[in-house]
């Protein structure tokens, strides 16, 4: 059947509107960051991020058995190469439950793939490679732990973080290289050596702040059993009142890991050329928020026992955003701001 250019253009416009509308509902932080990226680079990161969120929604779906999740992840992977499969995907996920925004996104995956197919061939190849790698890793862990993820060792933890976050670091760096003229081959190779630490640092901080929520509501425990047992706790007892001190001691190992990876993440940011200012702006906000969140995790030892999710204040988010934008061209200023956020809350006068 002959394609109708007007219909195709109309569907792309619909897909673009949907993607921009749903993005802040699934992530406020990345909604702000992605809007800073220009042209096809921005569209590529938008499409890739939403595809990652769809995969994550399938992985976390509590009502589905592991084999069904694996099948849906296979179906999602097939959509990259088959437009008909992508158009039919929403009919495969009508039983998905959970956060309304994530459910809506997943049930409109066909529109996200319309956005993906409108990208240039080289850009599509990067997205296909790395989001596909993520989906394959999620499938592996879903089948490995059919009754809920229970990470066993630090080595397995790093493997899991590679699949769900490290892949994103590689994807973004490949896209920077393709779309930013100031990132030549030599700078690209240096960034590529640090991009995994950048992405995995953010992932570890997210895991640390959500330990109680993940265990209680997602039936997922990412803190390695090996670490917990070394300190007198376990997956089965991770939230028991009398095991909280041991659990906190185990978490300290991951805090140290996050601190080390955050230093690599900072180096990654500072290596991005000043001429690629939109990319610097994209990277700086999640990094600053991670530093501030890790600070609160270390300064609020009772959060775990009280089943709290650690979040920095809205005022600090606004303050870090404003100051991050002000010092974005200064490596010294960015390093100072990261150090400052790690020590105590950064609150600017006049910001509410």
CATH code, domain with 231: 1.10.600.10
Q: What is the pLDDT of residues 104-147, one digit of tens each?
A: 999 999 999 999 999 999 999 999 999 999 999 999 999 999 99
| Residues facing residue 150 across a β-bridge | 221
For 136-203, the DSSP string reads HHHHHHHHHSTTS-B--SHHHHHHHHIIIIIHHHHHHHHHHHHH-TTS-HHHHHHHHHHHHHHHHHHH
Check whether residue 251 and residue 326 sit in a common domain. yes
**Looking at 59-63, 90-94, 127-131, 138-142, which range is the least confident one?**
59-63
pLDDT at 217: 82
Q: Which of 77, 102, 120 is the last residue of a domain?
A: 120
- Kindly state whether residues 44 and 167 are assigned to the same domain: no
Within this chain, do residues 68 and 175 fall inside the same structural domain, yes or no? no
| Together in a domain, 104 and 189 | no
Lookup: tokens for 31: 């909604």
At residue 18, the pLDDT reads: 98
CB atoms within 10 A of CB 52: 22
Closest CA to 291 of 202, 228, 220, 182: 202
- Indicate if 57 and 180 belong to the same structural domain: no
Residues 162 and 284 in one domain: yes
With respect to residue 130, please indicate whether it lies within any of the assigned structural domains: no
Mean pLDDT of the chain: 94
Q: How many domains does the chain have?
A: 2
Give me the pLDDT at residue 307, please. 67
Cβ-contact 71, 139 below 8 angstroms: no
Within 8 A by CB and 6+ apart from 184, the residues are none
Question: 10 Å Cβ neighbour count for 274?
Answer: 11
Return d(Cα 258, Cα 263) in angstroms, integer.
9
Q: What is the DSSP letter of 312?
A: -
**Are both 97 and 191 inside the same structural domain?**
no
Radius of gyration of the chain (CA): 20
**Of 76, 102, 120, the domain-final residue:** 120
Is 272:283 a contact under the CB 8 Å cutoff? yes
- Same-domain status, 100 and 159: no
- Summarize the confidence of residues 70-79 as an average pLDDT: 99
Answer whether residue 319 is part of any domain. Answer: yes
**Is the residue at 127 inside a domain?**
no
Rounded distance, CA 141 to CA 71, Å? 13
Residue-range definition of the domain harbouring residue 59 = 1-120
Tokens found for residue 40? 């096809």
What is the per-residue pLDDT for 1? 43
Residues 22, 96: one domain?
Answer: yes
Determine, yes or no, domain membership for 132.
no
How remote is the C-alpha of 5 from its chain's centroid? 35
Residue 13 lies in a domain: yes
Q: pLDDT at residue 305 above 60?
A: no
Residues 223 and 290 in one domain: yes
Alpha-carbon distance of 143 to 138, in angstroms, equals 9
Q: Is the pLDDT reported for residue 10 higher than 50? A: yes
Report the share of the chain in percent with pLDDT over 70: 96
Question: pLDDT, tens digit, for every residue of 151-172?
Answer: 999 999 999 999 999 999 999 9
Same domain as 155, residue 107: no
Looking at residues 34-44, what average pLDDT do you find? 97
Q: Are residues 110 and 70 in the same domain?
A: yes
Q: What SS3 class is residue 221?
A: strand
Return the bridge partners of 221, or none.
Answer: 150
Rounded CA gap, 306 and 310, in Å? 11
């Amino acid at each position: 059947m002959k394609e109708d250019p007007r219909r195709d253009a109309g569907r792309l416009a619909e897909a673009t509107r949907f993607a921009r509308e749903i993005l802040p509902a699934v992530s406020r932080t990345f909604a702000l960051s992605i809007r800073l990226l220009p042209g096809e680079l921005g569209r590529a990161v938008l499409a890739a991020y939403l595809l990652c969120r769809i995969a994550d929604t399938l992985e976390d779906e509590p009502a589905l058995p592991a084999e069904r999740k694996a099948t849906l992840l296979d179906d999602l992977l097939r959509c990259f190469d088959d437009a008909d499969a992508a158009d039919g995907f929403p009919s495969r996920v009508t039983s998905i439950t959970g956060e309304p925004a994530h459910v809506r996104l997943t049930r409109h995956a066909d529109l996200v793939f319309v956005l993906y197919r409108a990208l240039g061939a080289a850009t599509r190849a990067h997205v296909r490679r790395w989001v596909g790698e993520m989906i394959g890793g999620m499938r592996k862990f879903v089948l490995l732990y059919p009754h809920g993820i229970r990470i066993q060792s630090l080595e397995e933890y790093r493997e899991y973080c590679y699949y769900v976050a490290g892949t994103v670091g590689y994807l973004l760096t490949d896209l920077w290289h393709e779309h930013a003229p100031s990132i030549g081959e030599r700078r690209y190779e240096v960034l590529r050596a640090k991009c995994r630490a950048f992405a995995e640092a953010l992932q570890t901080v997210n895991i640390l702040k959500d330990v109680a929520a993940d265990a209680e509501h997602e039936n997922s425990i990412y803190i390695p059993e090996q670490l917990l047992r070394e300190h007198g706790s376990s997956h089965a007892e991770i939230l028991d009142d009398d095991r909280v001190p041991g659990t906190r001691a185990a978490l300290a190992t991951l805090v140290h890991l996050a601190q080390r990876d955050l230093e690599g993440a900072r180096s990654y940011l500072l290596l991005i050329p000043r001429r690629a200012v939109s990319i610097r702006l994209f990277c700086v906000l999640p990094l600053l928020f991670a530093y501030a969140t890790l600070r609160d995790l270390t300064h609020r030892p009772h959060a775990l026992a009280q089943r709290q999710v650690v979040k920095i204040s809205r005022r600090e988010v606004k303050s870090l955003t404003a100051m991050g934008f002000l010092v974005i061209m200064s490596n010294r200023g960015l390093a100072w701001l990261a150090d400052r956020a790690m020590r105590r809350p950064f609150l600017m006068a006049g910001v509410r």
